[in-house]
Structure 1
Amino acid sequence: MSTNIVWHNTQITSQQRADQKQQKPVVLWFTGLSGSGKSTVANAVESLLFAKGAHSYLLDGDNVRFGLNKDLGFSDEDRVENIRRISEVAKLFVDSGLIVLTAFISPFIADRAQAKSLIGDANFLEVFIDTPIEVCESRDPKGLYKKARAGEIKNFTGIGSAYEAPVAPDIHIQTDTLSIEACATAVVDALTTKGYVKS
């Protein structure tokens, strides 16, 4: 990192931005296997938040890899860097007063802990989209499990690379037993209970 840089403080504070939006900014960090329903649930949550008048933004794993992280692959090292970058971006969004939804596999406990440390405990909720790998593989919406089983994709989480499930997530959602609507409602209810959005 260059030593010839200085952090620039802005006139408008993070609290003022949050007050303007009448909400408490937070990162909803959705984690789970490929095919677990992270993006689908996150999209449904954002729709509910939008309907409530909340200000949010969804950062999806695939979408981020089209631009910001297009230079990264799927090795363990690149996965770590992928999460580091998105954590920094999410932190800036929180500073703007937004509710940020991030839908990334983010397979390693240490990386999610680092994201939480960077963003801050008060502004970070880990949302575990807990779906058995057998169910994820039966869904296989992108055909990735089939390719991984055929050896066409290396380091695929759950098959060629480990997924470390959260030990004590802030919000625990099981998509194999609940509808998408019920999953999204459970997340928004938790946000309301925790005081991030108004009822």
Structure 2
Amino acid sequence: CHPDSVAVCQPGSVCVSQPGSVAMCQPGSVCVSQPGSVAMCQPGSVCVCQSGSVAVCQPGSVCVCQPGSVAVCQPGSVCVCQPGSFAVCQPGSFAVCQPGSVAVCQSGSVAVCQSGSVCVCQSGSVCVSQSGSVCVCQPGSVCVCQPGSVCVCQSGSVAVCQSGSVAVCQSGSVAVCHTNTPQNGSIVIGLKQQRS
């Protein structure tokens, strides 16, 4: 796809979009979006988003977001966010956030935040923070804090703290830190409410 062009990638095709082009990726197609290009990923398509590209991932599509790319993950899409990528996860989407990636998780989305990633979990979203990740849990969100992770729990959020996790709980948040294995040993800072 040359600059200023629009390509419709039919099933079974592979499209490489150059800067300034737009690729419409139909089901069964594979799109590689280069810097400065935009990929519209329809259900059943796979998009590989290179640095500086933007992907709109429609329901049923899969986006692999390379460093420096931006993905808008619509309901029912799956985003694999590599280091240095940024994803906006809309309701009903699922994101796997690799080290160095940042995801903003909207209501109804689910994110698995791997080591070195940062997840901002908005109301109604669920974030699973693995060791070495940081989750900012906004009001109405639920964070499952695995060992070695840090959860910043804002007012109205709920954190489930497993063994070895750290929860920084602001006023009005709830931390569920069970005393039985494997969730003993969690650390809670500034806890206002706690359920054991």
Per the normalisation by structure 1, the TM-score is: 0.23
Greater percentage in helix: 1
Per the normalisation by structure 2, the TM-score is: 0.24
Greater percentage in strand: 2
